[in-house]
Structure 1
Amino acid sequence: MKKNLFKKLVTGVLATSLGVVALTGCGAEKTSDKGNQAYRTLDEIKESGEINIGVFSDKNPFGYVDDNGDYQGYDVYFAERLGKDLGVKINYVSTEAANRVEYLETGKVDVVLANFTVTDERAEKVDFALPYMNVALGVVSHEDHVITSLDQIGADEQVIVISGTTAETYLEQNESDIKLQKFDTYAAAKTAFENGTGVAWANDNTEVIAYAKENPGYVVGISSLGDQQSIAPAVTKGNSTLLDWINDEIESLGEENFFHADYEATLLDTYGADYEDTLVIEGGATK
């Protein structure tokens, strides 16, 4: 009786062990797991032959999908070079402002190149590489009621913001009396703004300047709100091998004036030559 019981227990343990081995050898995705965060190291990305890059799909001219279904824009131009120099295929993942951190923390993307402004709060959750663009906040409004100061916004009026952006954070922390109308996507915010929701739209100044240039009837009454900040790639917290490679890449690209070339290929038509040296950070070196 005891022998039969012992035999059953041993058989069960062996079966379980073999099952684990079988599952491990069946092509399970290889990731590095640090605490609650999962990420792929540089070597694992190279071994897979593919890198997952989070970009916007509706924020022209930084990240958007063109009429042919292809990703285009300033961030995408940079992403294409990263993929080329890594020697891997790029899998673009459409990203919204509010889920950039989440996509890195869950390993859905390896890198975020989605007009990501560097802040102390975000740096606690992700690792930022060297910057490649300057940015401040701006406010766009209708030409019939141009907002040149936040003091002009009435108690019952609303300002449009995108959830998860620095504009949302800045206004909540510094202008708590202003009512915010929040949207998850740029497309939804644009549609609402054009349909009369909100007296103004607060966002990165690059975004609102582009919007006003592309949409007659709108004016950027506030072109710089708060401190000037920078845009940088981000990787999952602790992914030092990928972070170090990206930093080396940005410094190397600076030697060939890559980001000025990127600007001229993707942003020149929108902003003109006058903004180029103001917006572009070459080789990670801030002014």
Structure 2
Amino acid sequence: MKPVKASAKFACLLAATAVLALAGCTKVNPPGQDTASTSTLQQVLQRGTLRVGDCLTFAPFGFYNKDGQPDGYDVDLAKELAKEMGVKLEVVNTTSANRIPNLQTAKVDVVFCNFTRNLERAKEIAFTTPYVVASEALLVKKSSGIQSAKDMANRTIATVKGSTNGDEVRSMGIPVKIQEYDSSEAAILAVKQGQADAMIEDNNFLAYQAKLDPDLVVTNEALVPLEYNAFGVKAGDQVWLNYLNLFLFNINASKQNAELYKKWFGTDPRYPLNPQF
């Protein structure tokens, strides 16, 4: 084999060095890695409109007011978020069933909608830190003398058809009669009219009902493990998730979230957002 001239070797070395330098200067993002330019955050700022998915059939979290406009606790939070971002707000009426699909198909930028964080949902979307905590309690008349589920022996609990809420009391070994109604409104009316001794439901929802009727009160107990509700976002968008978490940190630290809760539910938040383990 003929020896290679020094000049040829040097030329080959320069070419190899150039290739390595080019590779070193070219940044390759790992598959699925989010960047600020492709984040929903940047898209919302460029669009000038924040699209929030909210359930407008579950007062006082979300509902249509007398003027036909979205209103409620979640809507107030959405207004604060849009204000901080300097964009307009578009509230998209959402159901429990289409919360995740609407995120995955980018019909909305974020979902509030009484969204409980759990591991099954976390396989498909991402959640922020919690902004409200829920459990189940009893709605009773103040004059009933009922202070907890232990006082419900041989009494009647009103529930909504298809709900398993009454089973929580039965699982405590308390003999109760379960009376099912077609709607929450019908179950509440049954308590007001004395057809049932209590109604079992989400404690936040019941707090709102007690605010509307001074003759009603909510028992101070947690009949099921606490549920931590958060904002839902499309998976893989860490920039947007970081922004929303900082927004929640700020409104919680400033007590603004607690003030909005009291505005709509008539009481201070019952459970802390950060559990003690």
TM-score of the superposed pair, with normalisation by structure 2? 0.64
User: C-alpha deviations, 1:215-260, integer Å up to 9, x for none?
Assistant: 4776645742112232211112223222121012222334433223
2:92 aligns to what?
A: 93
SS of match in other structure, 1:226 = coil
SS of match in other structure, 1:103 = helix
1:68 aligns to what?
A: 67
Residue identity over aligned pairs, in percent, reads 25
User: C-alpha deviations, 1:37-61, integer Å up to 9, x for none?
Assistant: xx97222222221121112323333
Counterpart CA distance in 2 for 1:190 and 1:222 is 22
2:48 aligns to what?
A: 49
Paired positions, count: 233
Deviates more, 1:41-50 or 1:99-108: 99-108
Deviation at 1:79, TM superposition (A): 0.8
Counterpart CA distance in 2 for 1:224 and 1:66 is 31
Counterpart CA distance in 2 for 1:224 and 1:92 is 32
1:81 aligns to what?
A: 80
Counterpart CA distance in 2 for 1:55 and 1:106 is 16
2:235 aligns to what?
A: 237
TM-score of the superposed pair, with normalisation by structure 1? 0.62
Counterpart CA distance in 2 for 1:78 and 1:247 is 13
Unaligned segments of structure 1, at least 5 residues:
1-32
SS of match in other structure, 1:59 = coil
1:209 correspondence with 2:207:
yes
Deviation at 1:91, TM superposition (A): 0.8
Counterpart CA distance in 2 for 1:115 and 1:262 is 15
Unaligned segments of structure 2, at least 5 residues:
1-31
1:213 to 1:249, Cα distance in 2 relative to 1, 3 A: closer
Counterpart CA distance in 2 for 1:56 and 1:97 is 7
Counterpart CA distance in 2 for 1:152 and 1:230 is 27
User: C-alpha deviations, 1:14-38, integer Å up to 9, x for none?
Assistant: xxxxxxxxxxxxxxxxxxx99xxxx
User: C-alpha deviations, 1:95-133, integer Å up to 9, x for none?
Assistant: 233433333233332211122222233323321101122
SS of match in other structure, 1:97 = coil
1:212 to 1:244, Cα distance in 2 relative to 1, 3 A: same
2:159 aligns to what?
A: 159
Tell me the C-alpha RMSD between the 2 structures: 4.3
Instruction: Point out the structure with the larger strand share.
Output: 1
Counterpart CA distance in 1 for 2:45 and 2:161 is 38
Counterpart CA distance in 1 for 2:105 and 2:179 is 29
